[in-house]
């Protein structure tokens, strides 16, 4: 796999292809980041972008993880002391999951977001950005939550983070697209260059195949889950043997294979008794998906295999959480 293909593997969107190809030509010394609000235990949403960071480290880029404590404070996630404790736990989990600690810079937002230059640039963005434009870039509010001024400031800070962390590439889930587009519009107004960005997919709700998997609504899988918990969640997941072309439902089991398992394992083995055809071995996602569609691979066997490989991925982080809480 060439460098560009590795950088963009499993990306839902590349903005822009020409800019990222130029980056792929000389990746050494280039800096890429994802920002995470310290809000709890890592779940599959965090780990999808972490998989992309692992790809980018393999491609030769330097990874920056922003532990966005000021953002979390603006979102009412606790005192700075409480948020910092959560951030420290998240950092340990990311390393346990597979980020190369020697090639990962963990940065707290409070290390630079309270400085005078940053604050003055933030005020300049507040002057140049309409309320409607800031609202379009806001994160979705939880049901019953009322928008506050802090919710409008939040995406403006995300724009400035890209400049102040001296980045060459920004990465986030597809739900971060609106922030990255705002940054590309507004940073030049402050005399700063635009940066390319990659957007990773949003995995569908585990039990229905609709919407998105969320830690605040519905069922998700996190590093807190025991092996039994994980197996129970995966075994109850929505996984139709064939896809109806007339509906908009996704197959979250296949999505988890594609975005979480195959990027981390060279070979996937589905263990089956001989009377059911014996073991199946896959070295690419497309063949597994085709076998599920054709009936060669039963959904129950797919789920059991998925649970096994996901458990192997999150087990080091689960153990690290136990150590931190002991």
DSSP-assigned letters across all residues of 62-103: EEEEEE-HHHHHHTT---HHHHHHHHHHHHHHHHHHT--GGG
42 and 99 in one domain? yes
Residue 216 pLDDT exceeds 60: no
pLDDT at 292: 95
37 and 85 in one domain?
Answer: yes
Classify residue 305: in a domain, yes or no.
yes
- Tell me the average pLDDT across 60-65: 98
Query: Per-residue pLDDT averaged across 197-215, rounded?
Result: 86
220 pLDDT higher than 90: no
Q: Please tell me the predicted confidence (pLDDT) of residue 210.
A: 84
Please tell me which residue, 56 or 1, carries the higher pLDDT value.
56
Provide mean pLDDT across the span 29-54. 95
Check whether residue 235 and residue 154 sit in a common domain. no
Asked whether residue 93 falls in the same domain as residue 233, the answer is no
Contacts of 101 (CB under 8 A, 6+ apart): 95
Domain region containing 247: 227-325
pLDDT of residue 212: 78
Are residues 161 and 27 located together in one domain of the fold?
yes
Per-residue confidence (pLDDT) for residue 245, from 0 to 100:
66
Selected residue with higher pLDDT from 305 and 140: 305
Counting the structural domains of the chain, the total is: 2
Instruction: Please check whether residues 154 and 232 belong to one and the same domain.
Output: no
> Looking at the predicted structure, is the pLDDT value of residue 65 above 90?
yes
Could you tell me the two tokens for 98?
């597979």
Residue 214 domain-assigned (yes or no): no
User: How many C-beta neighbours within 10 Å does residue 179 have?
Assistant: 25
pLDDT at 96: 97
- Quote the crossing angle between the two packed helices 80-97 and 299-325, to the nearest 10°: 130
Q: Are residues 156 and 239 in the same domain?
A: no
Do residues 189 and 231 share a domain? Answer: no
Whole-number pLDDT of residue 112: 98
* Residue 47 falls inside a structural domain: yes
Q: How confident is the model at residue 311 (pLDDT cuts 50, 70, 90)?
A: very high
pLDDT of residue 140: 81
Per-residue pLDDT of 258-285, as tens digits, reads 999 999 999 999 999 999 899 999 999 9
Which is it for the CA torsion 81, 84, 86, 89, positive or negative? Answer: negative
CATH code assigned at 50: 3.40.50.620
Looking at the predicted structure, is the pLDDT value of residue 20 above 60? yes
> What is the average per-residue pLDDT within 169-192?
96
pTM: 0.94
Give the model confidence (pLDDT) of 124-157 as tens digits: 999 999 999 999 999 887 767 888 999 999 999 9
Give yes or no: residues 237 and 193 share one domain.
Answer: no
Contact of 55 with 263, CB cutoff 8 Å: yes
Q: How far apart are CA 15 and CA 13, in angstroms?
A: 7
Mean pLDDT of the chain: 94
> pLDDT (tens digit, 9 = 90+) per residue, 23-41?
999 999 999 999 999 988 9
What is the pLDDT at residue 208? 86
Distant-in-sequence, close-in-space partners of 38: CB < 8 Å, separation ≥ 6: 67, 68, 69, 72, 77, 83, 84, 86, 87, 90
The answer to whether residue 286 sits within a structural domain is: yes
Question: Do 318 and 270 belong to one domain?
Answer: yes
Residue 250 counted as domain residue: yes
191 & 233 share domain: no
In a domain, 207, yes or no: no
C-alpha to C-alpha distance for 45 and 209, rounded to whole angstroms: 15
- Residue 320 belongs to a domain: yes
CATH number where 286 lies: 1.10.240.10
User: Which H helix or E strand runs over 287?
Assistant: helix 285-294
| The pLDDT of residue 211 | 78
pLDDT of residue 214: 67
Residue 50 belongs to a domain: yes
Share above pLDDT 90 across residues of the chain, in percent, rounded to a whole number: 86
């Amino acid at each position: 796999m060439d460098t560009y293909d590795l950088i963009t593997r499993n990306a839902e969107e590349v903005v822009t292809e020409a800019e990222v190809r130029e980056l792929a030509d000389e990746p050494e010394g280039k800096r890429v980041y994802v920002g995470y609000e310290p809000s709890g235990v890592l779940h599959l949403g965090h780990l999808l972008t972490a998989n992309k960071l692992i790809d980018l480290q393999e491609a030769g880029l330097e990874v920056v993880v922003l532990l966005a404590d000021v953002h979390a404070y603006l979102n009412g996630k606790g005192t700075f002391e409480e948020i910092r404790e959560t951030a420290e736990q998240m950092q340990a989990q990311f390393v346990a999951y597979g980020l190369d600690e020697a090639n990962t810079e963990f940065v707290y937002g409070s290390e630079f977001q309270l400085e005078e230059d940053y604050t003055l640039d933030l005020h300049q963005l507040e002057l140049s950005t309409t309320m409607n434009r800031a609202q379009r870039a806001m994160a979705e509010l939880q049901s019953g939550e009322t928008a506050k001024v802090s919710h409008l400031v939040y995406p403006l800070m995300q724009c400035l983070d890209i400049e102040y962390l001296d980045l060459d590439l920004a990465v986030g889930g597809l739900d971060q697209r609106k922030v990255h587009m705002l940054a590309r519009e507004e940073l030049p107004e402050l005399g700063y260059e635009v940066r390319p960005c990659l957007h990773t997919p949003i995995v569908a709700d585990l039990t229905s195949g609709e919407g998105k998997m969320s830690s605040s609504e519905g069922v998700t899988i996190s590093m807190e889950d025991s092996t039994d918990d994980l197996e129970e969640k995966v075994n109850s997941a929505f996984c139709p043997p064939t896809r109806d072309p007339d509906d908009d439902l996704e197959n979250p089991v296949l999505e988890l294979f594609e975005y979480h398992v195959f990027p981390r394992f060279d070979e996937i083995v589905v263990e089956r008794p001989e009377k059911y055809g014996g073991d199946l071995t896959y070295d690419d996602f497309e063949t597994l998906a085709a076998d599920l569609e054709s009936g060669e691979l039963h959904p129950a066997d797919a789920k059991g295999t998925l649970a096994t490989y996901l458990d192997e991925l999150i087990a080091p982080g689960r153990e690290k959480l136990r150590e931190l809480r002991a």
